[in-house]
Structure 1
Amino acid sequence: MSQLHVVCPHCHTTNRIQSADLDKSPDCGSCHQALFNGHPENLNATDFERHITRGDLPVLVDFWAPWCGPCRMMAPAFEQAASVLEPKVQVVKVNTDEAQGLGARLNIRSIPTLALFAGGKEIARQAGAMGANDIVRWTQAQLARVPAAA
Structure 2
Amino acid sequence: MSTSASTITTRCPSCKGLNRVPTDRVSESPKCGKCQTALLDGAPIEGTELNIDGLLNSDVPVVIDFWAPWCNPCVGFAPVFSDTAEEFNGRARFVKIDTEAQQMLGAKYQIRSIPTVMVFKGGKRVDVINGALPKSQFNQWLNQALLK
Provide TM-score, normalisation by structure 1: 0.76
Q: CA deviation at 1:36?
A: 4.8
Identity of aligned residues (%): 32
Equivalenced residue count is: 130
Task: Confirm whether residue 71 of structure 1 aligns to residue 74 of structure 2.
Answer: yes
Which residue number corresponds to residue 56 of structure 2? 52
CA distance in 1, matches of 2:103, 2:39: 27
Which residue number corresponds to residue 28 of structure 1? 30
| Aligned-partner SS, 1:77 | helix
> Which whole-Å deviations, capped at 9, do the CAs of 1:69-92 have from their partners, x for residues lacking one?
100010111111111111110011
CA distance in 2, matches of 1:60, 1:139: 9
| Equivalences for residues 49-128 of structure 1 within 5 A | 49-53=53-57, 55-128=58-131
Change in Cα spacing, 1:70 to 1:137, as seen in structure 2 (3 Å) is same
> Which whole-Å deviations, capped at 9, do the CAs of 1:89-130 have from their partners, x for residues lacking one?
001100001111111111110000000011011111000001
133, 139, 142: which one aligns with 2:142 = 139
Superposition RMSD on alpha carbons, in Å?
2.2
Provide TM-score, normalisation by structure 2: 0.77
Query: Does the 8 Å contact 2:55/2:62 carry over to 1?
Result: yes
Which residue number corresponds to residue 39 of structure 1? 43
Structure 2 unaligned regions, length at least 5: 1-7, 12-18
Once the two structures are overlaid, the 10-residue window that deviates more, 41-50 or 59-68, is 41-50
Q: CA deviation at 1:52?
A: 0.7
CA distance in 2, matches of 1:16, 1:107: 26
Query: Does the 8 Å contact 2:63/2:93 carry over to 1?
Result: yes
